[in-house]
């Protein structure tokens, strides 16, 4: 009997229309932001969680609209006169709404997955947990909305609760973050752990990061308890039952908040050690990228080997392989136990190109190959101030390799541009043997992290 009622609710109630609205809205949100997750599963999971900022208010409003159905049709007194408990009567409707919103959420994720599955070479298991947190969040929002619609069966209830939900989900955490950032004690007072009770993840993650599974588990515990409170409020009739209905939410918060990390979204992010592992193409000079970017390896192999060939023809002791940087200093700061390999002088360490909407490497701007030439003169030297002349020296040295004058960057001022041009012209006016000697000295200084000597080695006999 209950199953039959549930099927009728799914076919004839507003639950299906609510799910359709969420499906269309969520799909539009994700597909217009596909450049943020194309080819990367963890970024898709995080972007889907970010979309909850809109989907949760829709679930709240949809629940409120469905919750006022009995009052709208003036059957409250009729149903109250039956011997069947209220929770049994509202159960099928609440279940239909929960099934509908969860189905819409999962379909949004699966549709967006089409921009990932074709090109991704790495699937972090944690992405499942990150995405799954949205399920109890939507169920809780739907049931709390139904309870609000039943308690205040007015036409304006649904839009008001949607606006309130959007403010709570989006603006309040941002205001807390801004207040902490503006505070003179910001470095000593990180964001409170209670910020992570909000399921929307707006902080973003690097390609080599993930949301801690512990955080996802604690958020799930809190959201399940909040959903239980929503269901109990929906079925409660007496004041005592209404008061007891908030107990699961209070207990869930009491368990989760002390165990959640401080620092808000930044505290929830941890390094992904598997993402920084190298995946290599050995059909020729070896070219490696991190596992997180394995999908772009076919795109970067050609330019990387072309750059290695040019470098080998012009420099002594040239690198024989190209490897994507693993950002040693960055990872050491994020996770002291994670220490990616620091490469020797036979390795060209480069940054992966940006990823376009199709999940492939974006090489259309012609920037990647010149960046490989500039990468010859840099090393992962850890933290420290960047010397004023260091970018200019690398630009001139890279231009020497490509036999092209320095490409002037938009952020250079006129004096800096003229200085780069003079340094390049002075370098290429020297005999070839002297040019090669200076370039070899510059590379040796760069590999030794003596960045303050780069420009001096280019323009003088001695630094």
Q: Following DSSP, what letter does each residue of 21-55 receive, concatenated?
A: HHHHHHHHHHHTTGGGTTT-HHHHHHHHHHTHHHH
67-100 burial by CB neighbour count: b if 16+ within 10 A, else e? bbbbeeeeeeeeeeeeeeebeeebbbbbbbbbbb
Q: Which residue has the tokens 């209070």?
A: 250
DSSP classification of residue 280: E
pTM: 0.83
Chain segment 411-459, per-residue pLDDT in tens:
556 666 677 778 888 888 888 888 888 888 878 777 777 766 666 666 6
Q: Pick the closest to residue 149 from 160, 139, 134, 138 (CA basis).
A: 160
Pairing of strands 278-281, 287-290: antiparallel
Quick one: pLDDT at residue 426?
A: 82
H and E: helices and strands count for the chain: 22, 6
Q: How many CA atoms lie within 13 A of 129 on its CB side?
A: 15
CB 296 within 8 A of CB 289: yes
- Name residue 350's beta-bridge partners: 324
HEC readout, 103-161: HHHHHHHHHHHCCCCCCCCCCCCHHHHHHHCHHHHHHHHHHHHHHHHHHCCCCCHHHHH
Q: Pick the closest to residue 95 from 251, 230, 247 (CA basis).
A: 230
Q: Pick the closest to residue 281 from 270, 267, 295 (CA basis).
A: 295
What does the pLDDT profile of the chain (463 residues) look like in tens digits?
Answer: 567 767 777 777 788 999 999 999 999 999 998 888 988 999 999 999 999 999 999 999 999 998 876 655 455 554 555 556 666 667 788 899 999 999 999 999 999 999 999 888 899 999 999 999 999 999 999 999 999 988 888 888 989 999 999 988 877 666 655 555 444 444 446 678 888 999 998 777 888 889 999 999 999 999 999 999 999 988 777 788 888 889 999 999 999 999 999 888 888 888 888 888 889 999 989 999 999 898 899 999 999 999 999 888 888 888 889 998 866 445 544 555 555 555 567 888 888 888 888 888 888 767 888 888 888 877 666 555 555 567 777 778 888 888 777 766 555 566 666 777 788 888 888 888 888 888 888 787 777 777 666 666 666 644 4
Chain segment 365-386, per-residue pLDDT in tens:
678 888 888 888 776 665 555 5
Q: Pick the closest to residue 232 from 217, 222, 247 (CA basis).
A: 247
Quick one: pLDDT at residue 380?
A: 61
Quick one: pLDDT at residue 62?
A: 92
**Cα–Cα distance for residue pair 338/333, rounded to 1 Å:** 9
Quick one: pLDDT at residue 35?
A: 86
Contacts of 120 (CB under 8 A, 6+ apart): 39, 40, 41, 294, 295, 359
Structure tokens at 116: 């990932």
CA distances from 190 to 143, 206, 208, 217, 269 (A): 33, 20, 23, 22, 14
Pairing of strands 269-271, 321-324: unpaired
């Amino acid at each position: 009997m209950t199953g039959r009622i549930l099927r009728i609710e799914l076919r004839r109630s507003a639950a299906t229309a609510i799910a359709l609205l969420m499906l269309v809205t969520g799909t539009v949100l994700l597909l217009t932001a596909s450049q943020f997750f194309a080819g990367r599963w963890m970024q898709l999971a995080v972007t889907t969680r970010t979309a909850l900022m809109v989907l949760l208010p829709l679930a709240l409003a949809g629940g409120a609209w469905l919750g006022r159905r009995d009052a709208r049709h003036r059957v409250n007194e009729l149903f109250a006169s039956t011997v069947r408990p209220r929770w049994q009567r509202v159960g099928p409707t609440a279940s239909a709404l929960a099934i509908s919103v969860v189905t819409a959420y999962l379909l949004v994720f699966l549709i967006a997955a089409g921009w990932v599955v074709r090109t991704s070479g790495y699937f972090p298991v944690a992405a499942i947990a990150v995405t799954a947190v949205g399920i109890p969040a939507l169920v809780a929002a739907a049931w709390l909305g139904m309870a609000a619609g039943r308690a205040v069966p007015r036409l304006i209830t649904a839009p008001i609760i949607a606006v309130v939900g959007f403010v709570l989900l989006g603006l309040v955490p941002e205001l807390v973050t801004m207040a902490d950032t503006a505070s003179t004690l910001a470095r000593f007072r990180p964001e409170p752990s209670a910020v992570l009770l909000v399921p929307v993840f707006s902080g973003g993650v690097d390609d080599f990061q993930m949301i801690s599974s512990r955080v996802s588990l604690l958020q799930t515990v809190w959201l399940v308890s909040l959903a239980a409170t929503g269901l109990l409020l929906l079925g409660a009739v007496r004041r005592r039952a209404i008061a007891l209905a908030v107990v699961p939410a209070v207990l869930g918060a009491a368990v989760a908040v002390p165990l959640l990390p401080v620092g808000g979204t930044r505290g929830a992010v941890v390094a992904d050690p598997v993402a920084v592992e190298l995946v290599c193409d050995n059909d020729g000079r070896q070219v490696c990228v991190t596992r997180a970017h394995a999908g772009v390896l076919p795109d970067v192999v050609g330019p990387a080997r072309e750059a290695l060939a040019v470098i080998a023809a012009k420099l002594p002791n040239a690198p024989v392989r190209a490897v994507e940087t693993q950002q040693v200093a960055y990872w050491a700061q994020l996770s002291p136990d994670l220490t990616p390999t620091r490469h020797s002088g036979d390795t060209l360490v480069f940054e992966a190109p940006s990823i376009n909407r199709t999940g492939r490497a974006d090489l259309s701007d012609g920037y990647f190959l010149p960046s490989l030439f500039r990468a010859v003169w840099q090393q992962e030297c850890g933290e420290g101030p960047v010397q004023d002349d260091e970018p200019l020296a690398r630009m001139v040295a890279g231009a020497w390799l490509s036999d092209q004058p320095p490409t002037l960057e938009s952020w250079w001022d006129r004096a800096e541009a003229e200085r780069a041009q003079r340094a390049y012209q002075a370098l290429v006016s020297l005999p070839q043997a002297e040019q090669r000697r200076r370039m070899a000295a510059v590379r040796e200084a760069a590999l030794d992290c003596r960045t303050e000597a780069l420009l001096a080695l280019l323009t003088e006999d001695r630094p």
